[in-house]
Amino acid sequence: PAVAADSQGNFYMGILAYSGTANGILVSKSVDGGATFANPVRLDNGGDKPYITVDPANDSIYVVWENDVANGQAIFFSKSTDHGTTFTSRTQISHHIGTNNGAIPSVGPNGEIYVSWGNFADTVWLQRSLDGGNTWLGSDRVVRSDIVQPRDPLNGGFRNPEIAASATDRSSSPRRGRVYVIWPDQRYGDPDVLLSFSDDKGDTWSNPVRVNDDVIGNNADQFFPWIVVDSSGNVHVTFLDRRDDPNGYLFGMYLATSTSGGTSFGPNIRASDGIYGPSGFGFLGDYTGAAAGGGKIHPLWPDARFGDEDVFSRPVDLADYDGDGILNDGDGDGQYADHRCTGGQTAGCDDNCPGTPNANQADRDGDLVGDACDNCPDTPNTDQADTDRDGVGDACDACPGVVGGDASDPDSDGIPTCRDNCPNAYNPNQLDTDADGTGDACDPCPFTAMNDADGDGINDRKPAEVKTLDASRGANGSALLSWTAATGADDYSISRGDLAALPSGSYGSCLVNGVFGTTFNDPAIPAAGRGFFYLIQAQNFDCGLGPLGYNSAEHERISNDPGACQGSPHTDAHANGETAVKGSVSGTYQDTTSSNNVRESITEVLSQGGKPSSRYDSLEHRWTVQVSAGSRVEFHVEGSRTNSTDGDSFRFEYSTDGTTFTAISLPDLPLSDNNTDVQGTLPATLSGNVTFRVVDTNRLPGGQFFDTVSVDELWVRTVP
């Protein structure tokens, strides 16, 4: 439900009713401060998310909600001008047809009505009425059309819808009439809260401002934002925030305040009494709420501290957030945290820990952040950056990117283990040519990325010794060779020599490079009384040839013959462009050109049109690669995927015309990013600018748990 009050002290509650066939949008009135409510008035059958507001100038009541229409959902409006006794018939105010969701109304100082909403995609919309809801704009205004949908679901299995909350400044401040809209957005790498404002009644909008002040890209979720403007014109944004839990599960209710009309925000403070988690049952609700009045803000939020989700509230004094007697704006200049207390000063300055009680304002490192809330109290770090969110700031954290990281230094190179790419090999320069996270000093394949799917610390692409080789004579005298497959082998090279020369140390000359498979037929027949010996070497295209094995004296065989096998050549081609068809994309195709753990990620989105129960999650992303034909052409992808409960499967395909696609036969992507090279064979004649795509093959209606495909490297390998 949503609640609003009029100037006479009556409360009105917007209700979403579920009771058999009587489902609908209702409004009920209380004249005794909420102790009792009268029988409700029905505004609509079906529908969702009824939000309500009252114009304090004339007590007109405005209600907005969403409901199904042909090909999607629309936003509807109804009003009452007789204190809730009757309401007008519903009016569809949205023109854009799609998955319109979460409409929020607000009233301007001259009776303007603004309604904002999102569309589960990339756009926030706004409608406006200047005559009390009798007429509306002929087309929806676009607030933003470049939103990057935040991940959904979030850790804990609950959904994270795009609710675009709005508020209007009715104060006597210089920003009177300014309209504000906030929304969740992932353009900076993880879910953040962004804000835009308009000074011309919603016709044009400011560039987005990031509200939350944690480190950009630290993977902390900010979600379910709400916004209120108080009687002084200050803007208060509340949101749920996981910055205090390095595991990204527990959350608290946070508050950010702007005294500059939304152009900037002061330090975020935690308004809740702790951090808590969801119930784990897959639903936390869709939004939070807040109200401001009497010098306080009253945020509302859900958490499951008692097992099931309940709703909590905790009043926060807007003049002194933490109640320690030191004012947020102690110097009275209209801004807080711009002239913070230091050197023991406690008056005439702003609280240096506005969300943590610290009456003495101690600040021993002099960085203007009080010791009570300073994550490096002995190391100056005014920005309080804490990349791994372990409560220890980057400025004093030996392992700033690793929670509880090992700070020891066994190789004495001055780099702690948690940051050393070769913790047991001296390498103070940390050189890592292939950018695979393993330094050249300890990388068995220093020029190609690490691949260690079995976790034994040995690069799986380094080809192993071929353990056994069998030879038999064919009917025509040829030699039939067969051998066991070697770990890490892409193909094999065969050396052949005169058996009589073996004792003198000869290891023969190269017979053939680039044998695919583990058998070979040598038609050559040795002269009478002579014999051949054969040696097999495994080749990996990334790491070269493997060992020849050991001789009878247990020495590694090293062939110094100028004709020794060099292995077959190859070329690797990476993406030169891409097209995002369906999905929320983080990163670009340029992140797929090397195995460096910098990934491009594509998250499923909700299909468009139809009722919610008929929609499904979908994904399609395309890359283009310039391919050369050869004796063998392979498709390779190193990446991973998530796996929720709705049975999604993903398939890679290729096309030479961008229209007709053929599936590539290759194993599924792993569920964790373990640097596994997943590969499949392409036609040897394939050439030109080829389009490759990944698609979600599941179209199960109602399957709305969004999975993500992450690609570290994607390439096509051609063997001439």
Second-level CATH architecture of 50-317: 6 Propeller (2.120)
- Sole residue written with tokens 């409510």: 37
Q: What is the DSSP letter of 365?
A: T
- Distance (Å, rounded) from C-alpha 95 to C-alpha 172? 33
SS3 at position 590: helix
Separation in Å, CA 585 to CA 142, 580, 621, 707: 21, 7, 9, 12
| CA dihedral (347, 349, 352, 353) positive or negative | positive
Region(s) of the chain under CATH 2.60.40.10? 450-568
Question: Residue 132: is its pLDDT beyond 70?
Answer: yes
- Distance (Å, rounded) from C-alpha 261 to C-alpha 265? 9
Model pLDDT, residue 449: 61
Cis peptide before 428 (omega within 30 of 0): no
Structure tokens at 221: 């979720």
Residue 166 buriedness (CB in 10 A; 0-12 / 13-18 / 19+): buried
- Distance (Å, rounded) from C-alpha 160 to C-alpha 52? 22
Mean pLDDT of 534-548: 86
Model pLDDT, residue 26: 96
- Sole residue written with tokens 């468009």: 608
Task: Give the pLDDT confidence of 652-662 residue by residue, as tens digits.
Answer: 999 999 999 99
Lowest mean pLDDT among 311-315, 485-489, 559-563, 664-668: 559-563
489 pLDDT band (50/70/90 cuts)?
A: confident
Region(s) of the chain under CATH 2.60.120.260? 571-719
Mean pLDDT of 243-263: 95
* 450-568: CATH topology: Immunoglobulin-like (2.60.40)
Task: Give the pLDDT confidence of 75-90 residue by residue, as tens digits.
Answer: 999 999 999 999 999 9
Structure tokens at 25: 């949008």
Pseudo-torsion of CA 230, 236, 240, 245, nearest 10°?
A: -130
**Residue 5, C-beta contacts closer than 8 angstroms, at least 6 positions apart:** 11, 12, 54
Mean pLDDT of 134-148: 96
Separation in Å, CA 116 to CA 21, 107, 321: 30, 12, 30
Is the distance from CB of 261 to CB of 178 less than 8 angstroms? yes
C-alpha Rg value of the chain to the nearest Å: 33
Domain 571-719 part of CATH 2.60.120.260:
yes
Is the distance from CB of 572 to CB of 717 less than 8 angstroms? yes
Structure tokens at 23: 């489902």
Structure tokens at 118: 């999102």
439 pLDDT band (50/70/90 cuts)?
A: confident
Question: Residue 448: is its pLDDT beyond 80?
Answer: no
- Distance (Å, rounded) from C-alpha 232 to C-alpha 230? 5
Q: Which residue has the higher pLDDT, 574 or 606?
A: 574
Instruction: Count CB atoms within 10 A of the CB of residue 95.
Output: 14
**Residue 493, C-beta contacts closer than 8 angstroms, at least 6 positions apart:** 510, 512, 513, 514, 515, 536, 537, 539, 545, 565, 566, 567, 568
> Across all residues in the chain, what is the average pLDDT?
90
Question: Residue 458: is its pLDDT beyond 80?
Answer: no
Model pLDDT, residue 540: 83
SS3 at position 606: strand
- Distance (Å, rounded) from C-alpha 610 to C-alpha 256? 38
Secondary structure element (H or E) that encloses residue 109, with its range: none
461 pLDDT band (50/70/90 cuts)?
A: low
> On the CB side of 695, how many CA atoms lie within 13 Å of its CA?
13
Backbone angles phi, psi at 503, to 5 degrees: -60, -25
- Distance (Å, rounded) from C-alpha 322 to C-alpha 336? 13
Separation in Å, CA 88 to CA 54, 79, 240: 15, 6, 36
**Residue 527, C-beta contacts closer than 8 angstroms, at least 6 positions apart:** none
What does the buried/exposed string (b/e) look like for 570-607 if buried means 16 or more CB atoms within 10 Å of the residue's CB? bebbbbeebeeebbbbbeebebbbbbebebbbbbbbbb
Structure tokens at 14: 């917007």
Pairing of strands 60-69, 72-80: antiparallel
Model pLDDT, residue 184: 95
554 pLDDT band (50/70/90 cuts)?
A: confident
* Torsion-angle region of 612 (φ positive above 0: left; ψ -120 to 50: alpha; else: beta): alpha
Question: Residue 431: is its pLDDT beyond 90?
Answer: no
- Distance (Å, rounded) from C-alpha 213 to C-alpha 256? 9
Residue 412 buriedness (CB in 10 A; 0-12 / 13-18 / 19+): exposed
Question: Residue 447: is its pLDDT beyond 60?
Answer: no
Question: Residue 646: is its pLDDT beyond 70?
Answer: no
Identity at 534, one-letter amino acid code: Y
**pTM of the full structure:** 0.62
Question: Residue 210: is its pLDDT beyond 90?
Answer: yes
613 pLDDT band (50/70/90 cuts)?
A: confident
Q: Which residue has the higher pLDDT, 535 or 434?
A: 535
Task: Give the pLDDT confidence of 109-123 residue by residue, as tens digits.
Answer: 999 999 999 988 899
- Distance (Å, rounded) from C-alpha 476 to C-alpha 496? 19
Is the distance from CB of 315 to CB of 254 less than 8 angstroms? no
Identity at 574, one-letter amino acid code: H
Structure tokens at 49: 């998310």
Is the distance from CB of 419 to CB of 427 less than 8 angstroms? no
Residue 519 buriedness (CB in 10 A; 0-12 / 13-18 / 19+): exposed
Region(s) of the chain under CATH 2.120.10.10? 50-317
Task: Give the pLDDT confidence of 360-415 residue by residue, as tens digits.
Answer: 999 999 999 999 999 999 999 999 999 888 888 999 988 887 777 788 888 888 88
Is the distance from CB of 34 to CB of 21 less than 8 angstroms? no
Question: Residue 453: is its pLDDT beyond 60?
Answer: no
Instruction: Count CB atoms within 10 A of the CB of residue 387.
Output: 18
Task: Give the pLDDT confidence of 10-65 residue by residue, as tens digits.
Answer: 999 999 998 766 679 999 999 999 999 999 999 999 899 999 999 999 999 999 99
Instruction: Count CB atoms within 10 A of the CB of residue 129.
Output: 21
